[in-house]
Chain A
Amino acid sequence: MNEYIMEMRNINKEFPGVKALNNVTFKLRPGTVHALVGENGAGKSTLMRCLIGINSLDSGEIVLDNQIIKIPSTHFALIHGIAMIHQELSPVSDRSVMENIWLGREPLMVSFFVDHSKMYRNTKELLNELSIDLDPKEKMANLTVAKMQMVEIAKAISFKARILIMDEPTSALTGTEVKHLFDIIKKLKNNGVGIIYISHKMEEIFEIADEVTILRDGQYISTDKTKDLTINEIITRMVGRQLSDMFPKIQCKIGETVMKVENLSSGKAFSNISFELHKGEILGICGLVGAGRTELVETIFGLRRKTNGTIWIDGREAKIDNPIQATRHGLGFLTEDRRRTGIIPVLSIFHNMLIAAIRKYSNGLGFIKIKPANKMIFTYMSKLRIKATSTKVLIQNLSGGNQQKVLVARWLLTDTKILMLDEPTRGIDVGSKAEIYSIITSLANEGKSIIIVSSEMPEIIGMCDRVIVMRQGKMTGLMNRNELNQEVLMYYATINTQNDLVSRDIN
């Protein structure tokens, strides 16, 4: 009898121009959580895609139940009990929970008509088994990301999945939602399901994972029991070098007020937000999911209609109704949803980086100044260590982290004075994270003003000079750097204040 439920042996996979997997081995025991870690582009996703039949192998073998098998399609993987919860969920939003779960294999009456009552009962049973409190008839569109994820898990279990792959499952979840997810994971573990857990969050790995396999640049590095490892060991093996300091914060000189926001409101999303942003300052905006943080920066950038309030830039009232006016006022905005509002997938790195600064790099007749643009783009390619063979590579062929770096560079190319970053390191590996932090710090040092929206507390605490905390569309706290700690931030993010907290003047 084999102690492993599934083994991947000496897997090789090459894409045009890239050796994505080089002799990688990965073994999963039943009833365990096995974390798969590595920087973006290390080959984690490719390995998993080979396992669920999206990518074919160049060489190597997959052993399931002591048998060597070929996995030609995701459907084949599913009926053999291998399921994946993707990082970006794509439910059929207009249909119900149960219809999403049984999509394509609805229980039938007279072999033709869908048996809705049976579908309902089956779904109810399934959800109860996993202690997920959800109405099977609820429309998917009405669910939170966390609930959608749980539906995905239920769907996987309905296929009798014995191997469940989770790709960054907590990236959009709040603290309590994460706890619930972990409870479900433990339940699955006890039922003998083997779980492959992909994450960049070290705390989670140490909380939930039994074993850790590390990949780097398509190579297998190591597999160990989690209890035999330290965070530093994992990080060092992932990046292949010592990371001196995660948050290389320089205390830079904070100058005059650059932007002043007064009583800003946008419908139901948030109301009466006032703050000042200074030259060289890094201002954090934190809060739980749904607190209105993203909506606030979207409104400042003119992507969302403001219903009340004024924005002053350099002492003058700024009329910002669309992103064009925002960029003219020297604002830059890195959105939270990279795929939807960030990258232009079919275009090159060059094109993607240039697009926001295109006015700066073209002459009066509208002709692009190719040479200076190329020079700057090349500079940022190496400065941010974007892994690509040339600036002509299409951005869709890059890993998520590298795409994010291109998007950061997009705004660095402009003459942005105020840079707003919404979840700037979401889905980015530790190595690139540290690089992006050091870039943010040096930008502040050059006199740019930065707003960081983030749900990662360490990021907020490590980087920001001042922090605004929001809860349900209201500002509940404003703190200086020396007052920051996780407990205080959590307190303001979760307390139920009847009236808005009067922001303290910090000057």
Chain B
Amino acid sequence: MKIRRESLVNLLNKYAIFVVLIIMAFAMTLTTKDFLTVQNLINLFSSESSRGLLAVGVGLVIIAGGIDLSVGAIMALTSVITASLVQQSTYSNRLWVELPFISTFFAILVGLACGAMVGVVNGVIIAYTKTPPFITTLGTMLIVKGLALVYTNAYPVPMLRDDFKIIGQGKILLIPYIVIVFIFILVIAWVLLNYTRWGKNLYAIGGNELAARVAGVNVEKNLIAVYIWSGCLAAISGILLTAKSGSGIGTLGDKYEFDAIAAAIVGGLSFSGGIGRISGIFAGIFILGILNNGLLLMNVSPYLQQIIKGVIIITAVVVDMRKHKRRD
């Protein structure tokens, strides 16, 4: 067999998603005068960061051959729980009137622990009972959503302390903390996926769980870890968004899981597992983000926006299926 150079078509295929991203950015710059402004770009980044965190969380789950529908609900639960710990002591309608002072740091830890715990529940059920991840996380999604509403009686948890709100509202040189956290997590996820045992194991489990098991991969442990990862990122996103908005909301992150999954799929992750890159997830988030942002700037009706998004998601997957079509 003779070896040929990678053809232009192959290269285009490989980086198609970035080409699309760049073309979209160009198109938006040309058609709207507000797109390429510092303020708009910062807005774009900070609004996509919260969804982006979810997408990076769910993305790893999808690579391992699973799915996590509970991430939006986790945002809501961490939002109300964390918020209830950092309400101003002068506010008389506090959720816990008797609550002593709790440091912001500890409150964040509690929030993270909530996310991690839902992750453990998801992971254990999926790994040990072999319940399909879709069903399991659909169930936990409902439970966790319910918990968030039960906890607050569906009232918001307002009047949060300034030292908490700063983590969502503060910025370094115009760049909000939330964007920095998102980029930091992207880098971590990239390192984990490409340079660690865990990352390699996730790909293997997603690619062929039985083969991975025979090769001595601890499938259960790795799966539980990936659902914890996804739960924690949802919690981080929930905490940051709560701090940004200044109050805990029991319906925060509603339907965010679909945006996150959509971004991951547009970014080239395969639902059957084993395929996907962090750069793809990044591109997926911003393709949908620029679309949102641009259509808004162009005053396109929100209903039409939904239709356009749906078409884009399906198109992305159809194109991707062709790309991954096996040689035989």
Q: Which residues of A contact B (CB under 8 A)?
A: 14-20, 41, 45-46, 49, 54-55, 217-218, 301, 303, 322-324, 326-327, 333, 335, 340-347, 351, 354-356, 358-359, 362, 365-368, 370, 387, 389, 396-397, 410
Contacts and interface: CB of A to CB of B under 8 A. Distances in A.
B200 interface: yes
Contacts of B213: 303, 322-323
A49 B208 contact: no
Given A15-B327, A346-B275, A359-B197, A341 B1 contact: no
A19 B214 contact: no
Contacts of A335: 214
A366 B208 CA distance: 21
B239 to A, nearest CB: 26
Contacts of B217: 324, 355, 358
13 contacts: A14-B4, A16-B10, A18-B1, A20-B1, A217-B1, A323-B215, A323-B216, A342-B214, A346-B324, A351-B203, A355-B211, A362-B197, A367-B196
Interface in B74-94: none
B187 to A, nearest CB: 15
Contact of A368 (B6, B197, B210, B215): B197
B322 interface: no
B211 A341 contact: yes
Nearest to A361: B197
B272 to A, nearest CB: 8
B98 interface: no
Contacts of A14: 4
Contacts of B211: 340-344, 355
Contacts of A17: 3-4, 6
B216 A327 contact: yes
Contacts of B4: 14, 16-18
Question: Chain B CB within 10 Å — which of A17, A362, A397 has the most?
Answer: A17
A74 to B, nearest CB: 13
Nearest to A15: B327
B208 A345 contact: yes
Contact of B1 (A322, A324, A387): A387
B184 to A, nearest CB: 18
Interface string B290-328: 000000000000000000000000000000000010111
B196 A45 contact: no
Contact of A344 (B3, B212, B216, B327): B212
Closest 4 CB pairs of A and B: A327-B216, A344-B207, A356-B215, A346-B274
A370 B195 contact: yes
Interface string B142-182: 00000000000000000000000000000000000000000
Contacts of B198: 366
Contacts of A410: 215
A344 B65 CA distance: 12
Nearest to A218: B1
B253 to A, nearest CB: 30
B216 to A, nearest CB: 4
Nearest to A390: B3
A341 B195 contact: no
A355 B195 contact: no
A374 B162 CA distance: 52
A347 B207 contact: yes
Contacts of B1: 18-20, 41, 217-218, 387
Contact of B274 (A19, A327, A344): A344
Interface in B1-40: 1-4, 6-7, 10
Contacts of B200: 351, 354-355, 358, 368
A347 B274 contact: yes
B328 A54 contact: yes
Nearest to A389: B3
Contacts of B7: 16
Given A355-B204, A365-B196, A367-B197, 16 more contacts: A16-B10, A17-B4, A45-B328, A218-B1, A303-B214, A323-B216, A324-B216, A346-B275, A346-B324, A347-B207, A351-B203, A354-B200, A355-B211, A362-B196, A387-B1, A396-B327
Nearest to B218: A324
A499 B61 CA distance: 53
Nearest to B194: A368
A14 B198 CA distance: 37
Nearest to A362: B197
Contacts of A49: 328
B136 interface: no
B207 A341 contact: no
A341 B196 CA distance: 23
B221 to A, nearest CB: 9
B194 to A, nearest CB: 8
Contacts of B324: 346
Contacts of B212: 344, 355
Interface string B260-286: 000000000010001100000000000
Contact of B2 (A18, A323, A347, A359): A18
B36 to A, nearest CB: 37
A264 B326 CA distance: 42
B215 A343 contact: no
B242 interface: no
Interface string B113-134: 0000000000000000000000
Contacts of B215: 323, 327, 355-356, 410
Given A16-B4, A218-B1, A340 B210 contact: yes
Question: Chain B CB within 10 Å — which of A14, A55, A323, A327 has the most?
Answer: A323
Question: Chain A CB within 10 Å — which of B6, B195, B328 has the most?
Answer: B328
Nearest to B200: A358
Question: Chain B CB within 10 Å — which of A18, A344, A354 has the most?
Answer: A344
B137 interface: no
Question: Chain A CB within 10 Å — which of B1, B10, B200 has the most?
Answer: B1
Contacts of A218: 1
A368 B216 CA distance: 16
B197 A397 contact: no
Contacts of B3: 17-18, 389
A344 B208 CA distance: 5
B50 interface: no
A362 B218 CA distance: 15
B230 interface: no
Interface string B215-226: 111100000000
Contacts of A362: 196-197
A218 to B, nearest CB: 6
